[in-house]
């Protein structure tokens, strides 16, 4: 009864005064690479690595990793065209769950809060807050995760944009030596929703994957399988955002945070024991079963995007040859399953049916 009431409340939000869910597919997926879109913050349309200096009280920030970390005054220094150095007063705090743990990450991810009115003069555009994914342990993991976002951009505009950065971390108190590392800034969820004429569905509304747009859900589930990621949940909103594009239609799932995927393969990434796999390099389908015609549509889509997926890695100037081949081989393994009828039936279809009967939810960290 509680589940039914929760569902009715959830659908009431999405549908206004009605709880009727229409079965028609939403025409919100253009199939274009999100980077070619004409809308949104221009900062995230630029493919070049953005250098800047972040001046912050390093010792205070790095020690502030409790349940409610505070914001600390900081300054961003960057150069405009012509070599003019600009200064922007910001605030930063530690963010994240697993990566906030000092036993996991030497340098945790950060949240940067920008001052009001900065959009008129700053290269970062119209932003209030941006997530900065830092090097944690090594720069290579930053680059790998950044490229996974680029992969999902290939599939749909309904995806987070990311901008690769090269950050000089300078201690405001002069106690630590400055260091330079790769990082990336992630588009804000509300901004991503806005450029797609959508709104973010509040996380308090519990909505299972069976009540989402099924085309979008199949796309997400197969993408997560492709990259080797089991660290997500729709009802618990674990590394998933839900967007509403139409009050009369099911919502759209959008994935984020891919550090536990096989394509990123961070040292701390281990799958939950209850899933029965021992490495994030082992793929496990986490979706429900979908109609045959939708599976056919997804196979067609992913096969059509295969050259673009490969090009995400082959065209990246910052990756070594070994890193490129590492990623291409992992993607090739996915396509072997996708295009082998017996393997697809065994690894995707049957597992989806099994998941419908007994699903193991991944809640993530509190």
The secondary structure of 43-59 as a DSSP string is GGG--S-EEEEEEE-HH
Q: What pLDDT sits at residue 360?
A: 78
Q: What φ, ψ does residue 192 adopt, rounded to 5°?
A: -60, -40
Q: What pLDDT sits at residue 60?
A: 96
Strand locations in 123-275, DSSP E?
129-133, 162-171, 179-186, 199-200, 240-244, 252-255
Beta carbons of 261 and 229 less than 8 angstroms apart: yes
Q: What pLDDT sits at residue 120?
A: 64
Q: What pLDDT sits at residue 364?
A: 64
**Under 8 Å CB-to-CB from 300, ≥6 apart: which residues?**
none
Q: What pLDDT sits at residue 118?
A: 66
Alpha helices in 52-126 (DSSP H): 58-63
Beta carbons of 276 and 342 less than 8 angstroms apart: no
Q: What pLDDT sits at residue 362?
A: 73
CATH class given for the domain over 198-357: mainly alpha
- Residue 214 tokens, joined: 């099924």
Nearest residue to 149 (alpha-carbon basis) of 138, 140, 158: 158
Low-confidence ranges of the chain (pLDDT < 70): 1-38, 118-120, 364-366
The domain ranges of the chain are: 64-190, 198-357
Q: What pLDDT sits at residue 230?
A: 96
CA dihedral defined by 260, 264, 265, 270, rounded to 10 degrees?
0
The CA distance from 187 to 162, in Å, is: 6
Q: What pLDDT sits at residue 97?
A: 85
pTM of the predicted structure, to 2 decimals: 0.89
CB atoms within 10 A of CB 52: 18
């Amino acid at each position: 009864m509680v589940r039914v009431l929760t569902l009715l409340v959830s659908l009431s939000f999405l549908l206004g005064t009605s709880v009727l869910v229409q079965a028609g597919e939403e025409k919100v997926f253009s199939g274009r690479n999100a980077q070619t879109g004409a809308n949104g913050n221009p900062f995230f349309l630029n493919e070049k690595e953005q250098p800047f200096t972040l001046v912050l009280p390093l010792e205070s920030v790095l020690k502030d990793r409790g349940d409610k970390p505070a914001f600390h005054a900081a300054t961003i220094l960057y150069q405009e065209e012509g070599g003019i150095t600009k200064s922007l007063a910001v605030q930063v705090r530690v963010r994240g769950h697993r990566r906030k743990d000092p036993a996991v990450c030497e340098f945790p991810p950060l949240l940067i809060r920008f001052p009001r009115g900065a959009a008129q003069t700053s290269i970062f555009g119209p932003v209030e807050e941006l997530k900065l994914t830092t090097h944690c342990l090594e720069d290579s993991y930053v680059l790998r995760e950044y490229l996974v976002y680029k992969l999902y951009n290939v599939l749909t505009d309904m995806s987070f944009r990311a901008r690769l950065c090269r950050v000089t971390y300078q201690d405001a108190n002069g106690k630590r030596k400055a260091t330079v590392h790769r990082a990336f800034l992630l588009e804000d969820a509300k901004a991503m929703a806005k450029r797609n004429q959508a709104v973010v569905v509040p996380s308090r509304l519990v909505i299972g994957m069976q009540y989402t747009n099924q085309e979008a859900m199949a796309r997400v589930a197969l993408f997560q399988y492709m990259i080797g990621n089991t660290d997500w949940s729709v009802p618990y909103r674990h590394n998933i955002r839900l967007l509403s594009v139409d009050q009369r239609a099911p919502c759209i799932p959008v994935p984020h945070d891919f550090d536990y995927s096989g394509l990123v393969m961070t040292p701390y990434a281990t799958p939950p024991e209850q899933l029965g796999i021992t490495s994030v390099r082992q793929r496990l389908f986490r979706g429900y079963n979908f109609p045959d015609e939708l599976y056919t549509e997804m196979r067609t889509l992913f096969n059509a995007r295969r050259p673009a997926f490969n090009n995400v890695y082959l065209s990246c100037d910052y990756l070594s040859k070994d890193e490129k081949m590492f990623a291409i081989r992992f993607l090739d393994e996915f396509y072997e399953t996708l295009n082998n009828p017996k393997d697809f039936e065994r690894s995707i279809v049957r597992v989806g049916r099994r998941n419908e009967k007994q699903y193991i939810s991944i809640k993530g960290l509190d």
